[in-house]
Structure 1
Amino acid sequence: MLLAAVALPASSLSAQQVDGGDPITVTGQLPATLKGLPEGPEIKGMITARKGGQMQVTADNGASTAVLVAPTTEIKSSGGFLGLDKDKLSAASLLNGLPVTVKTVQYGGGLIATQVKLKDKNLATASMIRNGTAQRFGEHDTAIAQNAAATEALRGRVGDIDQYNIKGTTNIYFDTGKWALSRDEEAQLCAAATQAKAMDNALLLVVGYTDAVGGEDYNQALSEKRAAKVVNYLQQKCGWAPYRMLTPTGMAEADPAADNTTAEGKAQNRRVAVNILVSKAVDGIGEGG
């Protein structure tokens, strides 16, 4: 799902909450100060989309909320502000896949972020994102930029998968209409993360699927919830760094792994695929030869 572009030519502003795939529509000008505006909800989740001054945060239950990031929005961690600027970090550092807690105010029928807070354990990751590199990728800045561009293109459909080599895939299966993980499946996810951590330049791409039962909109939302659940567990419990995660996507009943006319086939299609990818631009770099 792509976010609509921001247009701010008028004197008022409105924003539409994203729930079920509706685009965000924004018009008007942001207020000069957020003080005195009615308090909005606190939103906890993962950044799943960015477009201009807009940010979409998806909670663990799959619910998505759109907020605007204003020039006065504070972007910080529990250990203090990041970067050299003591006042705030650039909104450009709020990348897809980062877990955040967002405080908001209400304005013009929508929500504006007053503060975006990163969790303690993501401080090192956020710092690497802020600096534009990790030490192990220090010699491959061009490849990193290509991966970042590919992340945006992969949001809706995995159209550029041929740019990567697939080093392994772990499939997690779900009951009908469910997105909960069993302890065995949690262990499989951490095993996949451990396997990927051993590979230089490895990224994870998480894709959710459903069987053919149910409507298109329902299955799309369900596949996204399954993908979000897996991503959250990989990052929060398995220690997978958000900057090494391509934007997750839901494919609903597309690309079935088995026959959707049988119970056995449907069970194989209710899955999330965790793909270990290495960009072809950097695959093999560092190996002897």
Structure 2
Amino acid sequence: MSFVSKSSLIVLAMLALPASGSLAAQSQDPEGGLETTVSDTSPQMVEGPEIEGIISARSGDKMQVTASDGSKSVITINDDTEIRGRGGFLGLASKERAASSLLNGLPVNVKTLQWGNDLVAKEIKFRNNDFKTAAMIHNGTDQRFAEQTAATEALRGRMADIDKYNIKGTTNVNFDTGKAVLSPQAKQELCATAAAAEEMDNALLLVVGYTDSVGSQEYNQMLSEKRAGSVVNYLQQACNWKPYRMLTPTGMSESNPVATNDTVEGKAQNRRVEVNVLVSKGLDGL
């Protein structure tokens, strides 16, 4: 003869509970014993606080926002996060471009959801003119600040000790003259770089495009940006790198050559895009 103990019945009742939600279930002893109540205690997603401040660190799918009173909040970004730019020159047309625009030093307003002790970004808003300022600081173009306001200078000061990274590795992919088309080898190298970065904790990618010295400054600036854009698109679409784990791509024209532009071989090396794997020094426990 086989039998089921009272304790076994209670365990079976617990196994039959739904996997999610805050529903409670009851098991009744068939012999009239005490009734046992079992509840799912997993945390529920609820409305969280609205946080306003500047992005003071980026780390993988997380960002740290520092408020004006110095308090810091660590917020997770996911595929459902809405990212919006308001006014100014950008007109962010795609979610990928918006996500990659979350620069350190950018003032943001974040609506959050609370998941246990963690915060998840429901919506992130920023002013496009603030992004322009943060991007200028990020790219080190200090000469452009001459016509900016006192508010710009204040933001510049806040950025001074924030935008610091450890470079874990750099991959260069090269292009034909006047072209922004990725070669099969470049595609392979990009996905290999993304896979290696995925194995690192809190890694971000920074993509910078360059040209050789052939052509005008205006043309080369446009071409360097186009090359950086080609790399970003491939990393996101083919290599599955999340846009919120990428800093804003940059075109640097013919600056920072890695070889002489006086030879065919040197020019070929300079027609490149650098993919830098970064980890922020200011993570503060992210």
Q: TM-score, normalised by structure 2?
A: 0.49
Q: TM-score, normalised by structure 1?
A: 0.49
